[in-house]
Structure 1
Amino acid sequence: MTVHEVRELPDMRSLRSWARAHNTRIRYLGPTLDRHAVYAAEDGDTARVVRTPEHDPHPPPLVWRSPLERLRPVV
């Protein structure tokens, strides 16, 4: 059984630090239902995510999907 570990970090600074330490990129996943942007960095079966306190600057999607559905599946 494979487990994908997802944890939320408190802010973008923490996410940048984690991504730098794991030599990975940060990517935009989409908005929450409350229109806050969600960003993530992934390293293998581990992911760290952040919800920004300000509203997402991107236009809202016509059909909302959970940003966490955009994380890469572990094979």
Structure 2
Amino acid sequence: GFSIWLAGGGIKPGMTFGATDEFGHRAVENIVTPNDYQATLLHLFGLDWNRLVYLHNGQEQVITNHRDARVVTEILA
């Protein structure tokens, strides 16, 4: 698991989302993957993360590397 502090930009203020195990080593509730985090930020920037592509070694790539991702609407203001 990881912790992050976000402020402004469409994020709900003063909330905690999810939980970790008793040692803080891994997320156990409301798990947000790095791809979920990226999809959420791109959504807040007004970009569709499903359609955003870039070229890498001549191949079109998407930011989530075609892995499952979701916009974490529970933290949006």
Greater strand content: 1
State TM-score, norm by structure 2.
Answer: 0.25
